[in-house]
Homo-oligomer: A and B are copies of this chain.
């Protein structure tokens, strides 16, 4: 089959690789209908996170079950399924608690020896624990299929951030980060009943999506001016809940600046760079909580799926460029150059 392989920073190729096959009875093979490129893939692309030459890449996909191992009970050939961005066994103590990302048997698509999502097919370990079935009818609805793909990462990650930030009915929420996750954080916050949602961002194409997703206010300023603008919108106090969806020192500092005393930062931006931006002294004095991390999206899919299916929420606008598998290298360049927000791949 053909799949995306990373050979070195800025050297992404689509090439012939071995067809996936059942290795364990709990495996399934899924033919990919939709995949995409994640902001975090760019760190491998830019050399900011290490990859071995020849690793696969891509961790978001949905598709059709093509083959199942003898131990797979929950899926049959032909089922339409979505995969979360990590696999998990579904049976351990962590999976039972919903923390599928801490499953000792779990793993990340594209890690050494595993398939990545940006290819024609994927061998899925622990299929029963990992995959979630989608209605067959969705396969013929292109817009819906794209929306459902967001369940594999960005929608669940935005939801995790909103939960971490303590968003409840009537909350005031500020969102740092205008990427797909930040925008899904807006969507998730609105879904959880936030009354006021302040999106920080300067790219009108993105802040327009934020407004469409439920942002009541957009702050285009940066630094001190952004802080002043958020304060003015929040009786001088800041937002109860802040979603941090970037992962840089600067974004965490901004989150700390604009959160209200006693509030919470829900952080889902993968920390990168040498400094975290976390100032424990400030957090202590102001009773700021920090909650989040790698989102256990497998746990959230059953809750979010009905709302995507019935159109209550539609994350599909985060995909603003659609390409075929052979164009994946160009897709990386587009996201790296910020000419695309999130790239959809139809193999």
Contacts and interface: CB of A to CB of B under 8 A. Distances in A.
Interface stretch (A62-70, A143-151, A284-292): A284-292
Contact of A99 (B97, B261, B270, B280): B261
Contacts of A237: 93
Contacts of A252: 280
A102 interface: yes
A264 B284 CA distance: 15
A177 to B, nearest CB: 15
> Chain A contact residues (Cβ within 8 angstroms of B): what range?
20 to 34
B288 A284 contact: no
Stoichiometry (number of copies): 2
Given A271-B280, A280-B276, A287 B99 contact: yes
Interface of A: 93-94, 97, 99, 101-102, 164, 235, 237, 252, 261-262, 264, 267, 270-271, 276, 278, 280-281, 283-294, 296
Given A267-B284, A284-B293, A289-B292, 15 more contacts: A99-B261, A99-B287, A101-B287, A102-B261, A102-B286, A164-B289, A267-B280, A270-B284, A271-B284, A276-B278, A276-B280, A283-B290, A290-B290, A290-B291, A291-B291
